[in-house]
Amino acid sequence: MAAPSKTAIAKAVKGKNILITGASSGIGESTAYLLSECGAHVILLARTEEKLKSVKDAIEALGGKASYYPCDLTDMDDIEKTTSQIIADFDYVDVLINNAGRSIRRSVHESVNRFHDFERTMDINYFGAVKTILCFLPMMISRQSGQIINISSIGVLANSPRFAAYVASKAALDAFSRCLAAEVKGDKVTVTNIFMPLVRTPMIAPTKMYRYMPALMPEEAALMVAEAVVNKPNSIACNMGKFASATYSLVPAFNVGIQSIGYRIFPSSNAAQTTDSKPNLAQRAFAKIIPGELH
């Protein structure tokens, strides 16, 4: 599906209240710039007020409309308080974009004494997103209008090794959302999951090897979000994500075999964080054959 034009985006978002979590950097920030440029009023959520204010000021300097609310999306009480304030201030939100997230790159056998890794990813990627949805859902059902967009990961489709904690949390949100989509279809509320490939954001910066890997820029990822707003599909995935999902459904042993090769030829988290972690020939070849995937 081709990226939507600015005209199509403007037609879909002009005058709408669009809430974006994780809006202080990366995909969330780029999405805020794009949608505000096309006429949306973007409501920005993240933990750090200084960064949110900077994004808001930049949007307004460009002629857009933005508001911001500092919120710890791992704190359910804070989410409740913040979302209640947003509804009090604006009456409604047309589109909720659950973008905030945490990624941990570590194999399961290296995590046997790090159960908190699994708890932390679930806290923000699943529980935080679900709590935010629950806070806005009654308003959307009452208005018989609304859209929920979740930024998921290609890893959910590909079963990426070393990302069990991250992928499991995103898969949980995917399953929740697929069930929810059927429940609210009659209320004219749509749910879209975007299975993002690797995107060059601060979240992947700790893994130095990713500097040399094919990845989308945040602006390209923002266009995928805009596509979701314009076309309202149930899901969006790149061709590699669709291929990975199909191979696991039809020939799971093939999928597991390919992922096992990737697991063996790419280093662990500690090695991947070293300053001299340029990919070797085998790693470059694997990344070229399976671009955009997490390794």
Active-site annotation, residues: 166
| Sign of the four-CA dihedral 192, 195, 199, 202 | positive
Given phi > 0 = left and psi -120 to 50 = alpha, else beta, which region is 181? alpha
Mention every residue, 6+ apart, whose C-beta is less than 8 A from residue 80.
131, 135
- How far from the centroid of its chain's Cα atoms is residue 22's Cα? 9
> What is the distance between the alpha carbons of residues 52 and 290, in angstroms, rounded to a whole number?
35
Q: Contact 286/213 with Cβ under 8 angstroms?
A: no
Distance, in Å, from the CA atom of 253 to the CA atom of 178, rounded to the nearest integer, reads 26
* 8 Å CB contact between 92 and 136: no
Largest CA distance in the chain: 56
Alpha helix positions (H), 232-272 = 239-250, 252-265, 269-272
**Angstrom distance (rounded) from CA 121 to CA 153:** 13
CA distances from 260 to 62, 215, 266, 286 (A): 47, 21, 10, 12
- From residue 95, how far is each of 26, 89, 135, 228, 230 by CA, in Å? 19, 16, 13, 10, 11
